[in-house]
Amino acid sequence: MASQSNEKTEQTTRRGKPRWGRLVVWLGLVVFLIILGFGLMRTQQGPITIGEKAPDITLTTFDGQEIRMTDFPGKVVVVNFWASWCKPCEQEAADLEAAWQYFKPGGEVVFLGVAYVDTEPEARAYIEKFGISYPNGLDLGTRISQNFRISGVPETYVFDRDHVLQFVQIGPFQSLSQLKSVIDTYLAP
Amino acid sequence: MFVKHLLHILSEENRFSRMRQISHICGFLIAIMLFFVFEAGAQSPPPTPSDDEINAIASELYCPVCENVPLDVCGTQACEQWRGVIRDKLMEGWSNEEIKQYFVELYGDRVLATPPAKGFNWLVYLVPPLVILAGVYWMVQLFSRRKKTVSQSEATINLEQEEYISRLEEELKKR
């Protein structure tokens, strides 16, 4: 009888150890998979969608000015992502500047240029080459592009007066008239 | 003119004082020459870093445009510009760490070949050794359990054999 009870206690302790071990291993695995899942979801999420509120971004311009989306209440905001090494960006650079010159006197539209993974000297040279005059700056730490979850350059995001995303252009605009008509749509009261 | 002046000095009677004058002039000339040598050295441009020096840093950075491609072997225009930046910074006397930090500030942690040990990045350093340790523990457990089962079954067989032998002996004794 005594030997039987001894065997039983031995068995329970023998079973108890692996149970805890297994629990910890499974728990660790589940936590790891959850983290991995969140990471994958984030990467597969794609760019911000129409109807979403504008991300709270801060752009440090090449002049050293700090610009936030919230600095322009009631204005239509056009955010353009570009890079000096991006050939398709050159295609729309002049149109963007022309559109800015067209809407600038009205004071109801704001253009912001974000240089994505670019080097400062090349980005400045690009701005000079195309005579771009609206605020531009480097995407420091790729924080802005991560907030917008961009997939490449060029990409342009048009926010209405309430700073709700209304239009996304993946790739360059085909013409100045296309760009103007998009902005005009959201300027209308 | 200068040689003529020297001969004139030497022809004078007081040679000792003349010799002192000559040594002063020579010292002055040497000082001027040294000044020009050092000035030229200070004004010369710093040596251009070799491709190996640039690639040593570039290999520790990744192209953020084309994923999973180290900067030293990346052929895009963006990467070429980046290598140009590394060259400029090396010429300015920046250290490897300073250059890497500059790239991190501009483009984020993801440009680094080895992620810094902070936040979720810890998983990269913790998970593989933990998995290995868990595997070793599991193997040890498995082998020790198997060993115990084998010894237990051997003991059962021995017990059964002993019982059989004793019974056989008893039967033999009866006869």
- CA A95 vs. chain centroid, Å, equals 23
A86: closest CA of chain B, how far (Å): 9
Q: What pLDDT sits at residue A7?
A: 55
- pLDDT band, very low/low/confident/very high, at B70 (cuts 50, 70, 90): very high
B115 lies within 8 A of chain A by CB: no
* CB–CB contact B107 A142 (8 Å): yes
A 14-33 near B (Cβ less than 8 A): 18, 21, 25, 28, 32
* CB–CB contact B78 A142 (8 Å): no
- ipTM field: 0.71
The CATH homologous superfamily of the domain defined by B51-116: Cytochrome C biogenesis protein (1.10.8.640)
CA end-to-end span of chain A, whole Å? 92
Q: What pLDDT sits at residue A122?
A: 93
Pick the range with the lowest mean pLDDT from A74-78, A85-89, B114-118.
B114-118
Candidates B78, B134, B137; nearest CB to A83: B78
Higher pLDDT, B133 or B5: B133
What is the mean predicted confidence (pLDDT) over A67-78? Answer: 96
- pLDDT band, very low/low/confident/very high, at B4 (cuts 50, 70, 90): low
Whether omega for the bond prior to residue A55 falls within 30 degrees of 0, making it cis, is no
**Torsion sign, CA atoms A35, A36, A37, A39:** positive
Higher pLDDT, B15 or B35: B35
A35 lies within 8 A of chain B by CB: yes
Higher pLDDT, A181 or B163: A181
Burial class (CB in 10 A: 0-12, 13-18, 19+), A27: exposed
Count of all residues that appear for chain A in the document: 189
Which residues in chain A have their CB less than 8 angstroms from residue B107's CB? 117, 141-142
Which residues in chain A have their CB less than 8 angstroms from residue B120's CB? 35
A42: closest CA of chain B, how far (Å): 14
- pLDDT band, very low/low/confident/very high, at A123 (cuts 50, 70, 90): very high
Q: What pLDDT sits at residue A93?
A: 97
- Express each pLDDT in B128-162 by its tens digit: 898 899 899 889 989 998 888 888 888 888 888 88
Tell me the pTM: 0.68
Pick the range with the lowest mean pLDDT from A28-32, A59-63, A141-145.
A28-32
- pLDDT band, very low/low/confident/very high, at B34 (cuts 50, 70, 90): confident
What is the mean predicted confidence (pLDDT) over A19-41? Answer: 85
Mean pLDDT over all residues of chain B? 83
**A32 pLDDT higher than 70:** yes
Q: What pLDDT sits at residue A136?
A: 98
**B117 pLDDT higher than 60:** yes
Which residues in chain B have their CB less than 8 angstroms from residue A42's CB? none
Decide: A175 and A95 in contact? Cβ < 8 Å: yes
List the beta bridge partners of residue A115: A82, A138
B21 lies within 8 A of chain A by CB: no
B122: closest CA of chain A, how far (Å): 12
A41: closest CA of chain B, how far (Å): 16
- pLDDT band, very low/low/confident/very high, at A59 (cuts 50, 70, 90): very high
Q: Which two tokens stand for residue A160?
A: 């209405």
**B17 pLDDT higher than 80:** no
Decide: B93 and B46 in contact? Cβ < 8 Å: yes
Interface with A, mutate which of B81, B112, B130 (most A CBs under 10 A): B81
A141: closest CA of chain B, how far (Å): 4
Which residues in chain A have their CB less than 8 angstroms from residue B77's CB? 85
Residue of A nearest to B63 (CA): A117
B102 lies within 8 A of chain A by CB: no
B165: closest CA of chain A, how far (Å): 25
* CB–CB contact B78 A28 (8 Å): no
Which residues in chain B have their CB less than 8 angstroms from residue A25's CB? 134
Strands (E), chain A: 58-60, 66-68, 76-82, 109-115, 136-138, 155-159, 165-170
Q: Which two tokens stand for residue B89?
A: 């910074």
Which residues in chain B have their CB less than 8 angstroms from residue A28's CB? 130
Domain extents in chain B: 2-43, 51-116, 121-174
% residues pLDDT > 70 (chain B): 83
Decide: B117 and B125 in contact? Cβ < 8 Å: yes
Higher pLDDT, B43 or B86: B86
* CB–CB contact B105 A141 (8 Å): yes
Q: What pLDDT sits at residue B26?
A: 73
- Express each pLDDT in A93-118 by its tens digit: 999 999 999 999 999 999 999 999 99
- pLDDT band, very low/low/confident/very high, at B101 (cuts 50, 70, 90): very high
Q: What pLDDT sits at residue A1?
A: 47
Higher pLDDT, A180 or A44: A180
Higher pLDDT, A177 or A44: A177
* CB–CB contact B76 A85 (8 Å): yes
Q: What pLDDT sits at residue B45?
A: 61
**A4 pLDDT higher than 70:** no
